[in-house]
Amino acid sequence: MQIYLGITMMRAYFHLSRNGLRQLTYACLLFFNTATAAHAADWPMWGGNPARTGVTSEALPEQLHLNWVLRLREPKPAWHSNEPRVQFDRAYEPVVAGKRMFVGSMVSDRVTAYDTDTGNEMWRFYTEGPVRLALTVAGDRVYFVCDDGYLYCLRAEDGGLEWKYFGAPFDKKVLGNDRLTSIFPARGAPVVYDDTVYFATSVWPFMGVFIHALKATTGEVVWSNGGTGSMYLPQQHDRPAFAGIAPQGYLVAT
């Protein structure tokens, strides 16, 4: 039996240049396996399932052997804060389905599929903004949200675009995180439940929060809850203002 265990690590190295000591940091995905050949259970989304329980029926063997190492660029999180609720993109979050591992990048604005046996790249797909949250695999399709405001649906086999859906009322660009991207970034990571995919857009409640349910196969809208989430309430500076809860992180379905 093979166990694919993705461990996101940060390693720091120091390089002496003319300008003195410079720190170089990169991320590693280490994959371990056992000696036999059967295939392990998938890990198709963050938390393993729509309820995000983080539980699998697989048992790790007593001994693991390093299979290969994939070095990625240093992550660039959206928020430079120690607040745990906004640290969702401080590391890469790979998901695995079959013989493919899928990794989104908040640095390179892309999604990449790798062969779990070798670590070799199988395909890549570029977006118009950072991909900050883990992908969701359902059947033969891959779903993910992006700071460009879209929910994407790709074919897991070759990365071809099946459909995409913009989750806000209009597409306006703004300068943020060193690039132009949508003023309504999509950071409510998708969850697929009963052939329906749910996701959320907008991180500024005073501009409205947009939550959508789409048919997972076609992208057809089942329902949308748009423009809600903004409430007139007291703020930390002791003055009332329009605010609310921003959908940043992983949606749960039970």
Asked if residue 220 is part of any domain, the answer here is: no
Structure token pair of residue 37: 């050949």
Which pLDDT belongs to residue 96? Answer: 96
Which pLDDT belongs to residue 241? Answer: 78
- Note the pLDDT tens digit of each residue in 111-158: 999 999 999 999 999 999 999 999 999 999 999 999 999 999 999 999
Asked if residue 21 is part of any domain, the answer here is: yes
One-letter amino acid for residue 219 of the chain? G
Asked if residue 193 is part of any domain, the answer here is: no
- Note the pLDDT tens digit of each residue in 156-193: 999 999 999 999 989 899 998 888 889 999 999 999 99
Asked if residue 235 is part of any domain, the answer here is: no
Asked if residue 225 is part of any domain, the answer here is: no
pLDDT-based confidence at 223, cuts 50/70/90?
A: very high
Number of domains in the chain: 1
Structure token pair of residue 147: 């700071």
Average pLDDT, the chain: 84
Asked if residue 219 is part of any domain, the answer here is: no
**Mean pLDDT of the region 229-234:** 75
Asked if residue 239 is part of any domain, the answer here is: no
Range of the domain at 16: 7-187
- Note the pLDDT tens digit of each residue in 24-74: 334 566 666 654 444 578 999 999 999 999 998 888 888 988 999 999 999
Q: Is the pLDDT of residue 2 over 50?
A: no
Q: Is the pLDDT of residue 15 over 60?
A: no
Asked if residue 79 is part of any domain, the answer here is: yes
Which pLDDT belongs to residue 30? Answer: 63
| Domain containing residue 160: CATH number | 2.40.128.630
